[in-house]
Amino acid sequence: MSDRIGRFPGIVAGFGRIGVAQRGGIGYGLGRRPMHEASIMESVLETAGAEAAKAGAQRILRIRLRVGILSGVVPDALEFAFEGLKEGTPAAGATLEIEQEPAVFRCLECGARPELFEMSFACPACGGALIVDHGGGQLELSQLELN
């Protein structure tokens, strides 16, 4: 019985690299729709199930997601949705791992480009105003472990 590990660079649930600059840089991630994470998790489970079937696997052992800190997705809510939705799917016995993707910010004062794992408006180097440079907006199914 060998484990197969697949890597899927594809984006789940239509998330792309959503630049915070498009949203004015402030308050992005607020005002989420209710059940946002549940519908994302449904897509994740569907995609994972389809990949497992394609690989001829019986079960999904592990699902790894990469969640950008600016994606507006709450990891705890994803885990909660996973627990509620996995029954009856090939992922019923699977472990969910969530890896956070940082965003790269840029300081308007000193030009520093700190990579941070949480939203911040103050430069860690000089205290100046930060804007988002890139990254942090993705939600990606990064790895599946199948059996």
Q: What are the residues binding Zn ion (CB under 5 A)?
A: 107, 109-110, 112, 123, 125-126, 128
CA 52 from chain center: how many Å?
20
Contact in structure between 134 and 106 (CB atoms under 8 Å): no
Q: What is the CA radius of gyration of the chain?
A: 17
Of 21 and 92, which CB lies nearer to Zn ion in the complex structure? 21
Burial classification of residue 73, based on how many CB atoms lie within 10 Å of its CB (0-12 exposed, 13-18 middle, 19 or more buried): buried
What is the nearest approach in angstroms of Zn ion to the Cβ of residue 29? 23
Of 44 and 130, which CB lies nearer to Zn ion in the complex structure? 130
What is the nearest approach in angstroms of Zn ion to the Cβ of residue 123? 3
Of 58 and 120, which CB lies nearer to Zn ion in the complex structure? 120
Phi then psi for 25, rounded to 5 degrees? Answer: 80, -5
What is the nearest approach in angstroms of Zn ion to the Cβ of residue 5? 41
Return d(Cα 97, Cα 64) in angstroms, integer.
5
What is the nearest approach in angstroms of Zn ion to the Cβ of residue 142? 31
Of 73 and 130, which CB lies nearer to Zn ion in the complex structure? 130
